[in-house]
Amino acid sequence: MSLAARIGLEHPVVQAGMGGGIAGAALAGAVSAAGGLGTVGIMGERAFTAALAEARERAGSGRPLAANLLVPFTRRGHVEACLRARVAVVVLHGGTLPEVIRTLTAGGIEVLQTVGTREQARRALADGATGLVAQGRDAGGHLVGVQDTPQTLAAVLEVAGGTSVWAAGGVAGAADTERLLAAGADAAVAGTRFVLSTESAAHPGYKQALVAGTRTVDTKLFGFGWPMRHRVLVNDAVERWGEGPAAVRALNERSGRFGARLPLTLMERYPSVQRLSLPVFTAGPALAGMPDRVLRVAPLYAGTSVAGLHDVIDAAEAVACLTPPGR
Ligand SMILES: Cc1cc2nc3c(=O)[nH]c(=O)nc-3n(C[C@H](O)[C@H](O)[C@H](O)COP(=O)(O)O)c2cc1C
């Protein structure tokens, strides 16, 4: 039985976990209530626990719910919150955590690892992951993908054996979902489509930028504390600094070690004090309620899918738009 069937997913549409507050209870709960799989993104432990409880309420009984954990920021409280909220699925991204996989699977939770290569897929399976997310380099936000999504999916399926694989990157509509399902994916994962929903906590100016924008780049500029690649819209920070000065790139490379030890809540608040003139930018997203100037200096995460997205709609409508007929 496929993973989507095991968790009782009505439609093969997954809302990506998006950390730092973008994907909270309102978004995840609405997606799950609409028959997709809603995912609460990582945030400080206390807020994460509360968001999972609220999302569970909003999803309604019998609807599966997921949580996303960025490995460097994962603490014991996050793992306990997932167990307590009885999430059906946890998706890990940005590193390996075999002991957490063991704890969660022992609690009856399906654990998927986000991978971009065959080697990462093999490692995840050896660690005990019960599913994989094949992420292409077209994906928005936090990137492990190095090839286009169809190639990544094919490569990951080659080593997956019977394990279910979901595919992320380039999903703007039902035709994209159908293409990935036809290529062997068990479900399609979309992020940018759901940032552009009423329920996402993205800054309204960020949503407008997504509606208007089409040009994305894959960059490490927003790498203070999280020195991995991101796909973002080109904003003032990217225009002005490109990949950033060499000294800042070196600082970012080293910052992973201590950045992950800082409280996530500090990283989340930092965008409000960032300045265009000082190119030390964190991965903290531009959220509703932050001053408008964050739009110039915070990462405006977007996948190549942004070229096909032109409106802000309710999350339930987004699930319907992404679901192929008869699926
Ligand atoms: C705003 C935003 C934030 C993201 N944050 C995370 C994250 O915290 N954890 C994660 O596993 N993936 C994250 N991603 C990547 C998604 O999981 C997914 O791979 C991607 O959104 C798919 O591409 P799409 O945005 O074109 O649909 C993020 C993506 C976006 C757009």
pLDDT at 215: 95
3-class SS at 59? Answer: helix
Instruction: Please indicate whether residue 171, judged by its CB atom, sits closer than 6 Å to ligand 1.
Output: yes
3-class SS at 91? Answer: strand
Q: Which domains does the chain have, with CATH numbers?
A: 3-200+310-322 (3.20.20.70), 204-305 (no CATH)
Cβ–Cβ < 8 Å for 79, 103:
yes
3-state secondary structure labels for all residues of 257-310: HHHCCCCHHHHHHHHHHCCCCCCCCECCCCECCCCCCHHHHCCCECCHHHHHCC
Which residue's alpha carbon is at the smallest distance from atom 26 of ligand 1? 303
Tell me how far the alpha carbon of residue 194 lies from the centroid of ligand 1, in angstroms: 10
pLDDT at 313: 98
Helix (H) / strand (E) element for 214: namely none
pLDDT at 273: 87
Amino acid of residue 92: L
Tell me how far the alpha carbon of residue 117 lies from the centroid of ligand 1, in angstroms: 17
Kindly report the number of other CB atoms within 10 A of residue 61's CB atom.
Answer: 6
**pTM score, two decimals?**
0.98
pLDDT at 261: 78
Q: Which two tokens stand for residue 109?
A: 């939770």
Closest CA to 322 of 203, 168, 115: 168
Do the bridges between strand 164-168 and strand 216-219 make them parallel or antiparallel, or are there none, so unpaired? unpaired
Tell me how far the alpha carbon of residue 168 lies from the centroid of ligand 1, in angstroms: 8
Instruction: Please indicate whether residue 19, judged by its CB atom, sits closer than 6 Å to ligand 1.
Output: yes
pLDDT at 165: 99
| pLDDT above 90 (res 287) | yes
Model confidence over 13-71: pLDDT tens digits?
Answer: 999 999 999 999 999 999 999 999 999 999 999 999 999 999 999 999 999 999 999 99
Which tops the pLDDT comparison, 258 or 118?
118
Lowest model confidence (mean pLDDT) among 92-96, 191-195, 271-275: 271-275
